[in-house]
Amino acid sequence: MVHFFATRKGIVFTGLIIGIFAALLQVLGNPANMGICVACFLRDITGALGLHRADVVQYLRPEICGFVIGALISALLAGEFRPRGGSSPLMRFMLGVFAMIGALVFLGCPWRAILRLAGGDLNAVIGLAGLTTGIYIGVQFIKSGYNLGRSQKTYTASGLILPGLAAVLFILLLVKPELKTGALFLSVKGPGAMAAPVFISLAAGLVIGMLAQKTRFCTMGSIRDVILVRDFHLFSGVLALFIGAVIINLALKQVHPGFAAQPVTHTDHLWNFLGMMLSGLAFALAGGCPGRQLFMSGEGDCDAAIFVFGMIFGAAIAHNFAAASSPKGVGQLGPLLVIIGLVFCLVIGFFMRKKL
């Protein structure tokens, strides 16, 4: 069984499960073409904690808790829980910030871009082109010696911080404390109010977290490996994700081809492209897409956890400073922050190299 997860069949199986679960979660209540979106779901959690006040995107998404805890369980069972950290944490935090800003300008992470395309949203093609371009630029930096430095072995307690917080968030969702401050903040309308049953969402997250930890599933990594070494192993899993979602969407009549009137999207092609280009570059420089960062956090990787905290902070910045997009279009400061993010990523990609 362990050998199976290291094979092409294992990664394809994982991709199919993610695609199928994502499409089914839409039927069960999650937003259309957003059955699973790591960036959007982290944004919703950010809002539920009151770190941004966009009242239509506030919810403690159980899927995120499941991803981290599922990866932890898988790592513990396989003896792969290895607490580590110390590889340029501040840089990783800032990469997480700009990765989230880019994703919220596009309105989705790489998983959601694929799921949007599986639902017929042709705007996703523009986003995926931007994602690939950003990763390509990141690969050129990697080839020229870019490196954030080695992580070091650390205390077990450090590696358990993010899994512990994931468990606390899930408990808060179940308890829903009524505090004088108003927390938790949970949407009563909009995408944040659309959610599959709690325990089904958690179960889906746990299964995906366990499978993805075993197979090292990563959308950014799949494109990076194709560009860098012409290796299609991870890419076959991403393709399987798309196929699984398409099959379920077709069966349930959830495919509506076109650019206009797609759920929780906009049609500004320039910023769809540049937003995802920023995210792709940030993912490449940080060494993983948002899903992979959560799974590595479950393995005890404190650097990945720092990236996740950066994404949460980025979600707060994007919504509090009018950078996040909406179906009405790109936010007022979205283009400016994308440009700032691209400059930041290009600068650290150039200067954090062993060979100049």
pLDDT at res. 35:
96
State which amino acid sits at residue 80: E
Domain-located, residue 101: yes
* Residue 199: both structure tokens together: 């325990």
* pLDDT tens profile 112-154: 999 999 999 999 999 999 999 999 999 999 999 999 999 999 9
Phi, psi of 195 (to 5 degrees): -155, 140
Question: What percentage of the chain exceeds 90 in pLDDT?
Answer: 97
Residue 2 has pLDDT above 80, yes or no: no
Domain-located, residue 165: yes
Q: Where are the beta strands (DSSP E) in the chain?
A: 84-85, 152-153
pLDDT band at 3 (very low <50, low <70, confident <90, very high): confident
pTM above 0.75, yes or no: yes
Q: Are 66 and 208 in contact (CB under 8 A)?
A: yes
Residue 355 has pLDDT above 80, yes or no: no
pLDDT at res. 1:
64
State which amino acid sits at residue 241: L
Q: Are 91 and 148 in contact (CB under 8 A)?
A: yes
The mean pLDDT value of the chain amounts to 97
Residue 232 has pLDDT above 90, yes or no: yes
Element (H, E) at 155: none
Domain-located, residue 171: yes
Q: Are 104 and 324 in contact (CB under 8 A)?
A: yes
* Residue 20: both structure tokens together: 């199928």
> Rounded CA gap, 336 and 275, in Å?
11
Going by C-alpha positions, the residue among 352, 314, 341, 282 that lies closest to residue 134 is 282
Task: Count structural domains, the chain.
Answer: 1
CB under 8 Å to 356, separation ≥6 — which residues?
Answer: 145
- Other CB atoms closer than 10 Å to residue 235's CB: what's the count? 18
Q: Where are the beta strands (DSSP E) in 94-202?
A: 152-153
pLDDT band at 178 (very low <50, low <70, confident <90, very high): confident
Domain-located, residue 356: no
State which amino acid sits at residue 1: M
> Rounded CA gap, 191 and 285, in Å?
30
* pLDDT tens profile 185-221: 999 999 999 999 999 999 999 999 999 999 999 999 9
Domain-located, residue 291: yes
Residue 106 has pLDDT above 60, yes or no: yes
Q: Are 310 and 97 in contact (CB under 8 A)?
A: yes
* pLDDT tens profile 5-53: 999 999 999 999 999 999 999 999 999 999 999 999 999 999 999 999 9
- Other CB atoms closer than 10 Å to residue 178's CB: what's the count? 8
Domain-located, residue 65: yes
Q: Are 76 and 142 in contact (CB under 8 A)?
A: no
* pLDDT tens profile 298-329: 999 999 999 999 999 999 999 999 999 999 99
Please, what's the b/e burial string for 308-319 (b: 16 or more CB within 10 A of its CB; e: otherwise)?
bbbbbbbbbbbb
State which residues form the domain around 337: 2-351
